[in-house]
Amino acid sequence: MAIGTGRVGFFTDTSICIGCKACEVACKEWNALAADGLSFTGMSYDNTLGLGADTWRHVAFVEQRRPLGRQEPGLGDQDFRWLMASDVCKHCTHAACLDVCPTGSLFRTEYGTVVVQDDVCNGCGYCVPACPFGVIGKRERDGAGPGGGTAAKCTMCYDRLGAGQEPACAKTCPTDSIQFGDLDELRERAERRLEQVRRAGVTSARLYGHDPGDGVGGAGAFFLLLDEPEVYGLPPDPVVTTRDLPSMWRHAGVAALALLAGAALAFWTSPRPSPPPAALLPTQRTSAGLLLPEIPPVRRAARAAVAALRGRRATGWSVVSPWRRRSS
């Protein structure tokens, strides 16, 4: 397929997801990710539980005791529906992981996606708590191979995009639940699909992550959900975690300037130390009977030595150091 010059993304229509996990397998095969094992987690047929450093696609299985629109579950008197959705990194417009990365390992590509560079990542892990969706994981160093200790997440198959191919998960999806293409076009397609699903009787259907005015500036991977976001393990109102950083730095700068100004003002307005009054100094009486401040002994001795030296010079005497040996 031809990849345009605009921003690309994913539109995941969960109403036609069948939970086959083909997207999970294709993602792991193409990106050479470690297997998650075959042990079920207790969440229906879910064996991956969530996204992480080695799980870039996660299919959730949600069982509910209620009908899906006008469908007949075929279970007699029991109402039942099974919600399935393939979760992935959202490639946010305002990505907090980009803001906190100290090495530039995370960068935004020419396609508008966010990618981690393994060879630049220093393993600090700042991006892990910064993500409001809990997408990014950090590999353990022991036994993790060359990528040990680094962060990892979906790249939207950056290498395939450069070759004009769509991501492996979208290519593999048998029902077109995962759709890839120009982001603006996908948003228009999602609006039309939402109207169709609601006309079919699923009034709880909604779009998630498609609005550029939300807390992350709109996601590059958005979803059509059939219930509340919390049902699928998604935050109801995600906000970029670094939203308040600029104002925090401004407030810190203002506080520092105020502290500096206060210190300077205190220095310039503080009273200067003045010499003690003469009444508090030791006094001595002169021959004329006047009381004058007493001269300290050290200073008095120094003055006497200077006066003696001047007297010797006036009478032509030479001052010879007692330590200097006289010449014979």
- Euclidean distance between the first and final Cα of the chain, in Å? 113
Tell whether domain 8-243 is in CATH 3.30.70.20: yes
pLDDT at 323: 47
- Three-state secondary structure call for residue 258: helix
Q: Which residue from 58, 102, 64 is spatially nearest to 221, judged by alpha carbons?
A: 58
pLDDT at 143: 47
User: What residue type is 114 in one-letter code?
Assistant: V
pLDDT at 168: 97
What are the CA-CA distances from residue 84 to residues 53, 59, 167, 231 (Å)?
Answer: 22, 7, 20, 11
Helical (H) or strand (E) element with 64: strand 58-64
Phi, psi of 310 (to 5 degrees): -65, -35
Q: Which residue from 109, 119, 174 is spatially nearest to 152, judged by alpha carbons?
A: 119
Evaluate the CA torsion angle 70, 75, 79, 80 in order and state its sign. negative
pLDDT at 219: 95
Over its length of 328 residues, how does the chain's per-residue pLDDT go in tens digits?
667 678 999 999 999 999 999 999 999 999 999 988 777 777 778 888 889 999 999 999 998 877 666 666 555 566 778 899 999 999 999 999 999 999 999 999 999 999 999 889 999 999 999 999 999 999 876 544 455 689 999 999 999 999 999 999 999 999 999 999 999 999 999 999 999 999 988 899 999 999 999 999 999 999 999 999 999 999 999 999 887 777 776 878 888 888 888 888 888 887 777 665 555 555 555 555 555 555 566 566 667 777 776 766 555 545 454 444 444 4
E strand map for 254-300: 283-285, 291-293
pTM over 0.75: no
Q: 202: which 2 tokens?
A: 């699923």
Q: Which residue from 26, 30, 244, 3 is spatially nearest to 109, judged by alpha carbons?
A: 3
pLDDT at 145: 47
pLDDT at 298: 56
Cβ(279)–Cβ(289) below 8 Å: no
